[in-house]
Structure 1
Amino acid sequence: MISRNFVLFDVDGTLMDAVENQRRMWHEWAGRYGLDGDEVYGVALRTRPVETFATVVPDEDPDECLALLHELEDEDVRTGSYGAFEGAAELLAGLPEDRWALVTSNYEHRVRGRFERTGLPLPGLIVDAAAVTEGKPSPVPYLMAAEKLGAEPADCLVIEDAPSGVRSGLAAGMTVWSVNGTSEVGAHRHFASLAEAAPHILERASMA
């Protein structure tokens, strides 16, 4: 059997520059519950929304918490100011359509809305927060993406910007490269920007 290389991308902070948007939304969400925005945002960076709610507002109805977050994030998709990182559009357009996917802690409809607004090409597969029972840093999201692509974990390259995502990819037995910002401990390689990593990603994806 011929081995093929697959690329699995995180979205926010990796392909999409939406960090300030996320920070603003979580601060607004926290304010509705009388909580400190920085503390809530710190938890949200490490967990899926349902896990964040269980940590910061354990006595509140998680469905109501999620409904408010969805309201804030959907509004941001329509009106927020954000964009793709330099080189993202060219990188994604240069990958074989059946060899890459998005693995995100966000929700698919929101990712699609942002990609459409910024002109980024969409893959055939998006593994989002609703698709898994365990989010990053669990290996479950990346393992699910590999399974749906028909790929072996060892043939997958994960592109991430956050510690939880790096740990998720490593736990799944995949090669992990970190991009943007400071180097993530544990990643096999680090690039200061997505644009710097792009030619190396394309080269790896083209290898049999």
Structure 2
Amino acid sequence: MINIRMDIRESIRQFLVSSGYGRIRLKAVLFDMDGVLFDSMKNHTLAWQKAMAARGISADRNEFYLYEGCTGKGTIDQFFRRIYGREADEKEVEQIYQAKSRFFNEMPTVEIMPGIRDILFDLKKYGLKAILVTGSAQHSLLDRLEKEFPGVFLPAYRVTAADVKQGKPSPEPYLRGLAKAGVRADEALVIENAPMGVQAAVAAGIFTIAVNTGPIPPQKLYEAGADILFPDMLSLAAVFGEIVGLFKEEYLCQERRSPTTSE
């Protein structure tokens, strides 16, 4: 616990220096959905693989982990640009995404991520807002949010694929999340599990916690800009209260170091 605390403290200090914020007053936590709230990525990747195969496109299932956070069109365009040298048209996107959604809905119901309830308990304890920022438009999961997390991810505090022009890694989804929360980038942190999601959060200027809940090499998440990395949600849940406490501590330390108006 001591080493983890020191690592987190150092990550916060480095972020304060690199961002130039000088202080952080934590008010909100922005969550990705797939791989953070729900253990759904195994189903998503298989559904994408099947949908692409139905279109005659051979795809490595693990490749879809790298595109998590993109809109459906963004994921499809990754393959179309590489194979056909162009983006998919509206009809092609609709056909492939409908097939993907159908395959996903035929699979067993996904479970919530172990540890997420503990993290949300800490959010309530410290009076922090919870904001959903997902590149997904998968209604079978979005419709479960209120049932699994009652009163937490209210519709007014959600950003989905339908709300943005550009998906992750563009900062737009997280900038919209900040706006919905009514907070600045130096008043929030992000919990993400995908490189493109991490890039989006970092581009929005937010302290970013990466949780490696898939088969992605850890270095990919650091290269995307993650401020700190956990191997799974349970590991994060075990110290999340510590993290919130350190943000408050670092904020106070920065205030004490700040020159007074009389100097």
Q: TM-score, normalised by structure 2?
A: 0.67
Give the corresponding residue for 2:133: 103
Q: 1:151 to 1:16 in 2, by over 3 A?
A: same
Residue in 2 that maps onto 1:33: 55
CA distance, structure 1, for counterparts of residue 49 and residue 138 of structure 2? 22
d(CA) in 2 for partners of 1:59 and 1:169? 25
Matched, 1:112 2:142: yes
84-93 vs 54-63, which deviates more? 54-63
Percent identity between the aligned chains? 28
Q: How many residues align?
A: 206
Q: Distance in 2 between matches of 1:156 and 1:189?
A: 15
Q: Equivalent residue for 1:5? A: 27
Which residue does 2:110 correspond to in 1?
A: 82
Query: Match of 1:62, as an amino acid?
Result: E
TM-score, normalised to structure 1, is 0.82
TM-fit CA distance, 1:91: 2.0
Q: In the alignment, does 2:169 pair up with 1:137?
A: yes
Matched, 1:194 2:210: no
Q: Deviations over 1:167-207 (max 9, x none)?
A: 11111010001113453212111111112112443455576
Per-residue deviation at 1:145?
Answer: 0.5
Unaligned runs of 5+ in 2: 1-23, 81-85, 249-263
CA distance in 2, matches of 1:59, 1:148: 31
Find the aligned partners of 2:244 and 2:91 in 1 and give their Cα distance: 40
1:53 aligns with 2:76: yes
Runs of 5+ consecutive residues of structure 1 not aligned to the other structure: none
Change (3 A) 1:138 1:31: same
**Structure 1 vs Structure 2 CA RMSD:** 2.9
| Equivalence for 1:66 | 94
For the pair shown, which has the larger CA radius of gyration, 1 or 2? Answer: 2
**Match for residue 160 of structure 2?**
128
**Structure-2 separation of matches of 1:115 and 1:93:** 15
**2:46 partner amino acid:** R
